[in-house]
Chain A
């Protein structure tokens, strides 16, 4: 398992693409927002939590089609499926590697981009906490979507269509935590719901992803 994690991380870091690309996308989306809605800092401050969450979500989505497709093409997935390691663990490790290379940098970059969008002071902490709790769920749900579409020639657009509706609850609670935090309200309820979704998704969805992957490898 550790070897697989190491391999995925090294591939993501050295082969180019995933690691920097998601971050750069996040940066560009955030920079484009003031161009489209205008530079008034009060308006930007109000929408900042939502914009940052949406940017992070899209950056996550962007890197999903590479998550399993490369391993599918060169046959690594077939080897992994016949290896003694259960496919459920393989899928979980893949999601973890995706989170470490995409989700974690987004979490760390969010406060910096928050400055650009004039995020109110108390919002920074909750922005980071909500993203840190929510992005693992995004990675795991995304892995499920990637497993569904792995065998398809043009799966990219379909992947977005399948995954985005599944992102709805995570986005709602995550952005709600960040918004309430920025406005200085209590965040306990959405925070617990967000954590609950992440925990449940991490615990249960790898089974569905592995089942789907087995069908695709048949």
Chain B
């Protein structure tokens, strides 16, 4: 199969029935994989890695902090893509998927902020610092709140999908702008990217990198969080589709009855 026909086959899942049938088959396997990787990564990270010589056992919060921060941004990115798909091709499943992903992303942002604060208290001596990374995550959290509030506020589902999609596009531009503005505004305390850097993983670049003892369980728990996100999005999108169907059935009953 050529790439273009494969890509075309992807659009089959725009059909809600096909989407539901497939996700129902995939979900049990996905939950199992999620449980295995998540439990494996966290248990390995929490109990089978040595304490850091300076940070003690607080270093282990990294296994929750980094994956949740990674997903907080990826969830928004996913919403950006699904919003674009809705605006261009008007597939309802796509709009519902971005609706389903928003609360997950918001919770991930909150987890990243809270675990960061819990780690920061003993390490930096403060719960909160107006550091650029912390600040831009707080701003991202506000964007999630606004996006979800707009979904809730509008009655007509198609109007809501249109408006939130445009908000997501405009919001993405402003989120990126805010990120750079915040870096300009204050220099940071937070360390730079030190896990997923090509040179660091290969071992050629040794400046400020998470040691492999911590990196392998971390990568596993990141995979676990990612699978959890995918499973939750599938699950919640299915719920949204069913809720939409119930609404349609009730409306039909009212007309007929």
- B-binding residues in A (CB < 8 A): 144, 148-149, 151-152, 155, 158, 161-162, 164-166, 168-169, 172-173, 176, 189-190, 193, 197, 205, 208, 211-212, 215-216, 218
The answer to the question of B39 belonging to the interface, with a C-beta cut-off of 8 Å to chain A, is no
Taking CB atoms and an 8 Å cut-off, the chain B residues in 163-189 that contact chain A are 163, 166-167, 169-171, 174-175, 177-178, 180-182, 184-185
Whether the pair A193, B139 counts as a contact (CB closer than 8 A) is no
CB-contact partner of B166 in A151, A165, A172, A211, under 8 A: A211
Contact A172 B181, CB 8 Å, known A162-B146, A165-B139: yes
Complex interface: chain A residues within 8 A of B162 (CB): 212, 215
Write the nearest CB–CB distance from A95 to chain B, whole angstroms.
15
Complex interface: chain B residues within 8 A of A162 (CB): 146, 149-150, 167
Whether the pair B170, A166 counts as a contact (CB closer than 8 A) is yes
The answer to the question of B154 belonging to the interface, with a C-beta cut-off of 8 Å to chain A, is yes
CB-contact partner of A168 in B163, B166, B170, B181, under 8 A: B181
Write the nearest CB–CB distance from B202 to chain A, whole angstroms.
36
Whether the pair B163, A193 counts as a contact (CB closer than 8 A) is no
Write the nearest CB–CB distance from B132 to chain A, whole angstroms.
11
Complex interface: chain A residues within 8 A of B169 (CB): 208
Whether the pair A164, B142 counts as a contact (CB closer than 8 A) is yes
Please measure, in the bound complex, the distance between the C-alpha atom of A166 and the C-alpha atom of B182, giving whole angstroms.
13
Write the nearest CB–CB distance from B45 to chain A, whole angstroms.
33
Contact A168 B149, CB 8 Å, known A162-B167, A176-B184: no
Q: Could you say which of A144, A162, A176 has the most chain B C-beta atoms within 10 Å of its C-beta?
A: A162
The answer to the question of B198 belonging to the interface, with a C-beta cut-off of 8 Å to chain A, is no
CB-contact partner of B163 in A164, A173, A197, A212, under 8 A: A212
Please measure, in the bound complex, the distance between the C-alpha atom of A68 and the C-alpha atom of B174, giving whole angstroms.
23
Taking CB atoms and an 8 Å cut-off, the chain B residues in 127-175 that contact chain A are 139, 142-143, 145-146, 149-150, 153-154, 159, 162-163, 166-167, 169-171, 174-175
Whether the pair A169, B167 counts as a contact (CB closer than 8 A) is no
Q: Could you say which of B153, B154, B175 has the most chain A C-beta atoms within 10 Å of its C-beta?
A: B153
Write the nearest CB–CB distance from B198 to chain A, whole angstroms.
30
Write the nearest CB–CB distance from B70 to chain A, whole angstroms.
21
Please measure, in the bound complex, the distance between the C-alpha atom of A155 and the C-alpha atom of B163, giving whole angstroms.
14
Whether the pair A161, B149 counts as a contact (CB closer than 8 A) is yes
Write the nearest CB–CB distance from A185 to chain B, whole angstroms.
14
Number of interface residues of B (CB under 8 A): 26
Q: Could you say which of A165, A173, A211, A215 has the most chain B C-beta atoms within 10 Å of its C-beta?
A: A165
Complex interface: chain A residues within 8 A of B150 (CB): 148-149, 158, 162
Which B residue sits closest to A196, measured CB to CB? B177
Complex interface: chain B residues within 8 A of A212 (CB): 162-163, 166
Query: Binding site of B, secondary structure by majority: helix, strand, loop or mixed?
Result: helix
Please measure, in the bound complex, the distance between the C-alpha atom of A190 and the C-alpha atom of B186, giving whole angstroms.
13
Complex interface: chain A residues within 8 A of B153 (CB): 149, 152, 155, 158
Write the nearest CB–CB distance from B30 to chain A, whole angstroms.
33
Taking CB atoms and an 8 Å cut-off, the chain B residues in 192-223 that contact chain A are none
Write the nearest CB–CB distance from A213 to chain B, whole angstroms.
10
Write the nearest CB–CB distance from A161 to chain B, whole angstroms.
5
Complex interface: chain B residues within 8 A of A193 (CB): 181, 184
Write the nearest CB–CB distance from A66 to chain B, whole angstroms.
19
Complex interface: chain B residues within 8 A of A161 (CB): 142, 145-146, 149
CB-contact partner of B154 in A152, A164, A205, under 8 A: A152
A-B contact pairs, 18 of them (CB 8 A): A148-B163, A155-B153, A158-B153, A165-B178, A168-B181, A169-B180, A172-B178, A172-B181, A172-B182, A176-B185, A189-B184, A190-B184, A193-B181, A208-B166, A212-B162, A215-B166, A216-B159, A216-B163
Complex interface: chain B residues within 8 A of A189 (CB): 184
Complex interface: chain A residues within 8 A of B181 (CB): 168-169, 172-173, 193
Whether the pair A165, B174 counts as a contact (CB closer than 8 A) is yes
Complex interface: chain A residues within 8 A of B185 (CB): 172, 176
CB-contact partner of B159 in A155, A190, A218, under 8 A: A218
Which B residue sits closest to A155, measured CB to CB? B153
Whether the pair B139, A168 counts as a contact (CB closer than 8 A) is yes
Whether the pair B178, A168 counts as a contact (CB closer than 8 A) is yes
Write the nearest CB–CB distance from B147 to chain A, whole angstroms.
9
Write the nearest CB–CB distance from B180 to chain A, whole angstroms.
8
Whether the pair A215, B159 counts as a contact (CB closer than 8 A) is yes
Write the nearest CB–CB distance from B169 to chain A, whole angstroms.
7
Write the nearest CB–CB distance from B113 to chain A, whole angstroms.
15
